[in-house]
Chains A and B, each alone.
Chain A
Amino acid sequence: MSEQKRTPEYDGRDFADAAWSVPAYLLSGILVWGGFGWLLSRWTGVSAFIPIGVILGVGLAVYLVYLKHGR
């Protein structure tokens, strides 16, 4: 794999992969953990869980993009 990585083709693939996956990750992060926060707030009645979930989701999504494409 390390041989392939250096060819321009695979550089292009990495770049396009990252460019296309960032919005999907951000949206997924917000939906999953924002949604979880919404469920928690419905259950407990504490509405603060929604923004906490959304922010957690965005943070995790950024971390995930770093894990997959930033290292």
Chain B
Amino acid sequence: MNTPTLLLAALPTQAEDPEGFHAPGPEIFDLPPLWEGAPTWLTKPTLLAALSAVILIALFWGAFANPKLVPRGLQNLGEIGYMFVREQIGRPFLGKDTDRFMPLLVSIFFLVLVWNLMGVFPVIQFPVASHIAFPIVLAAAVYLLRIYLGIKHQGPIGYFKNMMFPPGVPKPVYILLAPIEFLSNLVLAPATHALRLFANMFAGHMLLAFFSMVGFYFIFQNFSVLGFPVGVLGTLVTIAMTALEMFIQFLQAYLFAMLAAMYIGGSLHAEH
């Protein structure tokens, strides 16, 4: 070993000190396969995504498999959820076409909601959408549907013409405007659709991990009289942040489904 390496090894760096406080970093999203020898794709997020689908199928099966005219129990809950998606997400953007797209919108909203709530559910505590592949798949599906519906309802030329060439502009100006329309509608819109959900879930999980780590470290791992209040504060902030997270998780599920409805609505009718 040469001298610089020895010198470096002698220095107590933060990362090497087992007693020091380590703020959790992005590595908390780097999860190994579930057990030794499991396929590499079989990790906690994929398991939770599958579990979310099973939970949703079970809930809606229980609610609507044998519907009564006067709803009771689970059916009540299912109807409230369905009505919420129809009135708050579907109607404002799809109008009379809402019912046609309700199966898709209900699935998107509740799937994303359950994915997100996994982030604060005790013991599970991992938001599925904090792995960007999951929101990308949903956003890409909505994107393809949107282009398909646009071409179907406005024609292959009409759709892109309506999107990129707003009427009432002198022809040469289109050279300036069309590229902006193209980038914002066909590239940035789907990208931000997926990124918004991902980034919110990623950041929220990091914050919760950080504050609960503060609480755990100063109360249990390295107890001291001076550190104890810091630990208590960390725990209290964790509780408050969990409440805030639940709100954000609901809000992001709502926004994701709302934007899906907005994109679909834009494809059904030309913008005016």
Instruction: Name A's B-contacting residues (CB within 8 A).
Output: 1, 4-5, 7, 9-10, 12-13, 16-17, 20-21, 24-25, 27-29, 31-33, 56-57, 60-61, 63-64, 67-68, 71
Contacts and interface: CB of A to CB of B under 8 A. Distances in A.
Nearest to A12: B92
B141 interface: no
Given A27-B184, A28-B184, A7 B266 contact: no
Contacts of A63: 177
A60 B176 contact: yes
Interface residues of B, number: 26
B153 interface: no
Chain A contact residues: helix, strand, loop or mixed: helix
16 contacts: A1-B269, A16-B93, A16-B262, A17-B271, A20-B262, A24-B185, A24-B188, A24-B189, A25-B180, A27-B184, A31-B183, A32-B179, A60-B176, A60-B180, A63-B177, A68-B166
Chain B contact residues: helix, strand, loop or mixed: helix
Given A9-B91, A67-B166, A20 B259 contact: yes
A67 B169 contact: yes
A47 to B, nearest CB: 22
Which residue, of A10, A13, A20, A25, has the highest number of chain B Cβ atoms within 10 A? A13
A24 B192 contact: yes
B4 interface: no
B81 interface: no
